[in-house]
A and B are shown apart, each in its own frame.
Chain A
């Protein structure tokens, strides 16, 4: 939603300028624009330089996926090697393992972590005591402000052999599980901690949207005989639908990047079978084994899928729901 408003208005080059008095003589000329606004352009110089160096140069740096790269040499590599690294990862079973894990974790995240904030926001909205609501919100936002290192530390502590989860398991089933190392338990551990981390803060945009629902709509619904549940279903949900869709598109866009930093901190070789995702795999290939070009090829593949996902999610939603990011 925040994004939606910031989409540049579609202007035909030149026309906007002609409406301003000062530029009437030569609409749209850069010379005139610079003469008038040179101070604004100087303000833009540093930020644009930043974008160029730290955002666009690395994009161009992806070219090493097709070139031989020498550590310490040019960031664009030494010579063309064609699709060598692409075919390398296409034939790499470890890559496909990571790919599969990424998809599974991504789907689980969408299924469990995406709806929770909506439910949470709706339930908060039903509270009558504003004080209690404020209190619940304040507490629930807390995990969002924690460093992922701290979160990881807490996950590992709570799921450790002597941690709370095993204390509960022991008293209920009389047995303990090595959650942090058993590959079968990585996904539940990851997803439950992800829900814990994101549910509260994730509700914030929905709560903002809920405050803007027109009160008279509820009144009208009541007069039509709608009960509370029907009011939620027919008034509240449609009212926050654009927010839901916008956030869904954004979530789909980050689908491939599933919690890289967190996984890097909590996984270990014993549970790679389920925990290793594309980003962690390329981290190990690239930075621990120094296969830069190979890892760059995998990374590019990941980014392209991510971009494709968000573009298609946006296009689909534009057609079906009339809501889109741009």
Chain B
């Protein structure tokens, strides 16, 4: 960037500036090399744990137990994959994750959109109060125990509702959406209202069709959060048939599920024990890795939407 502007300035800039730029250029070059190395290191360190887990998941027990697996699989072996992929609980739990994600995201979108649309109306009476009620929950919450007691007494334990309802509105998403609606040109709505549309009509026929981009971003935000969530399910679900796949993995990591209980036989129990966790991690991470390249730019634009306006 410096160089580009420096050359552009060549004609007009004072001689001293040019000199200065040339003087620092050696230090600058060293810095650039250092910067590049540092950032490449960041890339490597970020990716490494993923590569390591994949390598472990395809390695055989001898190499794993000897601590020899790092970047590449050693003694290629898919025994554990076969076991997990044949486990009906695993598939059932995967299905639950999909179900919970879809239902929870749907509920969240309905609640967040209607809330955001209403509080984006600057002349709505009581608006500050409603916004305040939402924002306050960002900084103060009831805490684990009162929440647990509440969900239990509502009879939601061991049901999908305990997973999909308690975190239905993310105030952060709400605020992003609200500022999006606030930025919509007022003339649009005024024209629609002169045409005789009610506030419902304006929302459904004018505002929402113009908000596809933000809606898509919000769906992604909620869907990823729901896909990844585990704690609600961990707290409130006792029936293994209702577990999402994150709990399947959690039980593996916590040692609740062992090679034996997962269906390992005498011949392969050692192999299963050695990499059952890596295999499960890989299998749960795959869907996210597949969509990640396509969705990450929407996340970025979502965050920008929330922050740019000032």
Contact with B along A60-71 (1 / 0, CB 8 A): 111010000101
Cβ of B45 < 8 Å from any Cβ of A? yes
The A89-137 residues at the B interface (CB cut-off 8 A) are 120, 123-124, 126-128, 132, 135-137
Are the C-beta atoms of B67 and A43 separated by less than 8 Å? no
Are the C-beta atoms of A295 and B144 separated by less than 8 Å? yes
Interface size on A, residues (CB 8 A): 113
**How far, in Å, is A133 (CB) from chain B's closest CB?**
9
Contact with A along B1-36 (1 / 0, CB 8 A): 110011001000110110011001000100110011
Cβ of B66 < 8 Å from any Cβ of A? yes
A323 to B112, alpha carbons, bound, how many Å? 28
Q: Is the interface of B mostly helix, strand, loop or mixed?
A: helix
**Selected contact of A296 from candidates B38, B128, B146, B229, CB within 8 Å:** B146
**Selected contact of B35 from candidates A127, A140, A161, CB within 8 Å:** A127
Are the C-beta atoms of B43 and A136 separated by less than 8 Å? yes
Are the C-beta atoms of A286 and B148 separated by less than 8 Å? yes
Are the C-beta atoms of B46 and A20 separated by less than 8 Å? no
Cβ of B176 < 8 Å from any Cβ of A? yes
**Selected contact of A154 from candidates B6, B281, B293, B299, CB within 8 Å:** B281
Q: A136: which B residues are within 8 A, CB to CB? A: 39, 42-43
Cβ of B277 < 8 Å from any Cβ of A? yes
- Stretch from B88-96, B133-141, B211-219, B261-269 contacting the other chain: B133-141
A253 to B136, alpha carbons, bound, how many Å? 12
**How far, in Å, is B298 (CB) from chain A's closest CB?**
12
**Selected contact of A223 from candidates B14, B200, B300, CB within 8 Å:** B14
Q: B200: which A residues are within 8 A, CB to CB? A: 39
Q: Which A residues are within 8 Å of any B CB, using their own CB?
A: 1-9, 11, 16-17, 20, 28, 30, 33, 37, 39-41, 43-44, 46-48, 50-51, 53-62, 64, 69, 71-72, 74-75, 120, 123-124, 126-128, 132, 135-143, 145-150, 152-154, 156-158, 161-164, 166-167, 170, 176, 196, 199-200, 204-205, 208-209, 212, 218-219, 222-223, 225, 227-228, 253, 261, 265, 279, 282-283, 286-287, 292, 295-296, 299-300, 302-303, 306-307, 310, 326
12 A-B residue pairs with CB within 8 Å: A8-B128, A30-B125, A33-B124, A37-B199, A54-B165, A59-B140, A64-B146, A126-B31, A147-B229, A154-B53, A208-B307, A265-B250
5 new A-B contacts, CB < 8 A, other than A2-B175, A54-B147, A141-B296, are A1-B307, A6-B178, A40-B199, A75-B153, A157-B52
